[in-house]
Amino acid sequence: MKSTALNEAQFLELLQKVLPQATPDTRLAAVIYDRVAQEVRLINNLRSLEKLCTEGALPNLEPETVSELQSRLATNFGAANVVVTPSEKGDAAAVEIVLPDRTISNRVRVQPPGAEEEEAKVPYVPLPVALPEDPDLLWVLARREDLAPDEASRALVSLEEEFWETKAGQKALRDRVERNFAEFIARVPAAALADSGLKRHYKSPEPRQTLRRLVPASQESLAALDQG
């Protein structure tokens, strides 16, 4: 079945069409359009960054390579908001993006051209996660297929504890961010999840769906006769 979801251009085009109908204030309509367009671009840029950190790699940490990465990220997030720092081990570049409401910390690994993968790529499978206090809400995460569900759960719990002790986690707590699973899964670097064999599909929980089967009319009639 063909998807009917709107892409970015279609959504913004629709917004531009609807806003003048919703408010006669053209200046207000323009301000709303600009703010929404900025948020849409930010969401797409953050998705691209996460994909780069989980699936991409740098060939090396030469100054030219790091400068090119810094320039690419500055185009999306603003030069003053981006900090790229090569690791002391030389195996990755730490990336920090400062946004008005939060700071994104992640890293891009280094893989020289032609180097063989240390391990074959293993497919990911769904890992539905629920909290004891609200079992009907599921975070639809993912785990490596070779990682057992129990192992993945233990890794996730350990990773959450470690995250709140990191620089990014401590800064979030100082900014009065509530220390809970929702904030953790929204802020933890994608690379940290990948290192533990995990991946987030959705940052927001989904309500559990109960499948209710339809009872054929013939069965309903038989049931009524039995009761009679």
- For residue 225, give Cα distances in angstroms to 15, 216, 222, 228: 57, 15, 5, 5
Q: How far apart, in whole angstroms, are the C-alpha atoms of residue 188 and residue 172?
A: 11
Domain boundaries defined on the chain: 7-55, 57-110, 124-207
* C-beta atoms surrounding 144 within 10 Å: 20
Cβ atoms of residues 137 and 130 within 8 Å: yes
Render pLDDT for 103-133 as a digit per residue (tens, 0 to 9).
888 889 888 876 555 445 788 899 999 888 8
Cβ atoms of residues 185 and 159 within 8 Å: no
Render pLDDT for 166-220 as a digit per residue (tens, 0 to 9).
888 898 899 899 999 999 998 888 888 888 899 988 777 888 777 776 656 555 5
Q: How far apart, in whole angstroms, are the C-alpha atoms of residue 200 and residue 118?
A: 23
Cβ atoms of residues 72 and 24 within 8 Å: no
